[in-house]
């Protein structure tokens, strides 16, 4: 659908190779395509007003090969926003954090 899935490895071969170069394409897509200009969002009414964890990530997140959490997103009217597809991009490292915002193992 978005063209990104075609560049990512699938199945058993995924464990055998590095994801560095492949994840760069995902990161650039998330930064460029997934962002709506604030002025456009204000005029069109497209905006998220609230987000919270319904299920927190585990405390040993970085030691896990698999982790699960539930993030609820809501629009300006308080209605839930449904996301069709997501992709894990990266952890937030201490040197990348803005201010002294507390994170749960690199997730906000």
Q: Is pTM, for the whole model, over 0.75?
A: no
Structure tokens at 23: 């994840």
The pLDDT-based confidence of 26 (bands split at 50, 70, 90) is: low
Please enumerate, as own/partner, the contacts of 81-87 that have beta carbons within 8 Å and a separation of 24 or more. 81/48, 85/1, 85/2, 87/4, 87/26, 87/30
**What pLDDT digit, counting tens, does each position of 38-67 carry?**
666 666 666 778 888 788 777 776 666 677
pLDDT of residue 81 exceeding 80? yes
Nearest Cα to Cα of residue 35 among 23, 48, 18: 48
CA dist 107 and 57 (Å) reads: 8
Please name every residue paired with 107 in a beta bridge, in sequence order, or none if there are none.
104
């Amino acid at each position: 659908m978005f063209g990104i899935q075609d560049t990512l490895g699938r199945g058993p071969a995924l464990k055998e190779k590095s994801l560095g170069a492949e994840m760069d394409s995902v990161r650039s897509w998330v930064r460029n395509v997934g962002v709506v200009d604030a002025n456009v969002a204000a005029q069109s009414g497209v905006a998220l007003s609230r987000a919270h964890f319904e299920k927190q990530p585990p405390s040993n997140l970085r030691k896990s090969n698999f982790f699960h959490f539930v993030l609820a997103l809501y629009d300006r009217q308080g209605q839930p926003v449904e996301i069709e597809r997501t992709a894990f991009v990266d952890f937030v490292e201490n040197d990348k954090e803005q201010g002294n915002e507390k994170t749960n193992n690199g997730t906000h």
